[in-house]
Amino acid sequence: MGYAFSVKPFEDPVLNVLEVINEFFYNLILLLCFTFTEFFDDMATKTSTGYLYIALLLLLLTINIGVQIKDTVKLAILRLKRIWTQY
């Protein structure tokens, strides 16, 4: 996450922000994995953590799909404008 903050590996600023968000969620989800081990015996804790785990994964997936849809629509509009100006 620090690398994405400091280096900004992508030219598009949206992709740099998306990379930081992905790394943040990845680290948060990785920390939640420890509750599924034998350190926590309470099944209610594991169940609620599991729901949180699923919610975080779905949120991350929704954010990434949303960015992809936005980029696809943007590209489609650009191509349609090019086609429109040719005629």
Q: Residue 81 carries which DSSP code?
A: H
Q: What is the pLDDT of residue 12?
A: 87
Which pTM does this prediction carry? Answer: 0.81
Q: What is the pLDDT of residue 1?
A: 77
At 55, the amino acid letter reads: A
With tokens 């086609």, the residue in question is 83
At 3, the amino acid letter reads: Y
At 13, the amino acid letter reads: P
Q: What is the pLDDT of residue 23?
A: 93
For 60, the domain range is: 2-86
Q: What is the pLDDT of residue 87?
A: 75
Domain count, the chain: 1
Q: What is the pLDDT of residue 76?
A: 96
* Three-class secondary structure of residue 1 per DSSP: coil
Pairwise CA distance, residues 4 & 10, whole Å: 9
What are the mean pLDDT values of the chain's consecutive 10-residue runs (87 residues total)? 82 90 93 88 90 96 96 95 87
